[in-house]
Amino acid sequence: MLREVGVLIRQARSGKLIVRLKGDAKAGEVLFDSDGRAVGKVTEVFGPIRSPYASLEPLTDKVARVIGEKVYLKN
């Protein structure tokens, strides 16, 4: 089962993916797209407590496909 945790908003110059979080995500967790494919591994959570962001190390070569898409945790 997938639980929505945020939206992938862009790719940083470093190559990492930036997610605007709606739910909890912790460093080391892998986030998935709606089809259950791994998108990236959380390396850092940052920003204000009320509207945090996460930085992901990409686990896909098709980054352009996932920009703007919701990301999920597997329960």
Q: What is the pLDDT of residues 7-63, one digit of tens each?
A: 999 999 999 999 999 988 999 999 999 999 999 999 999 999 999 999 999 999 989
H helix runs in 8-67, sequence order? 63-66
- Among 2.40.10.230, 3.20.20.150, 3.10.520.10, 2.30.30.60, name the CATH number for the domain at 2-62+69-74: 2.40.10.230
Torsion sign across C-alpha atoms 36, 34, 11, 50:
negative
CA–CA gap between residue 27 and residue 34 (Å, rounded): 20
pTM of the model: 0.92
Q: Which residues pair with 4 in a beta bridge?
A: 72
φ, ψ for residue 65 (rounded to 5)?
-65, -30
Rounded to an integer, what distance in angstroms lies between the CA atom of residue 49 and that of residue 66? 25
pLDDT band for position 69 (cuts 50, 70, 90) = very high
pLDDT value of residue 23: 85
Predicted pLDDT at 75: 85
Q: Parse the chain into domains and list their residue ranges.
A: 2-62+69-74
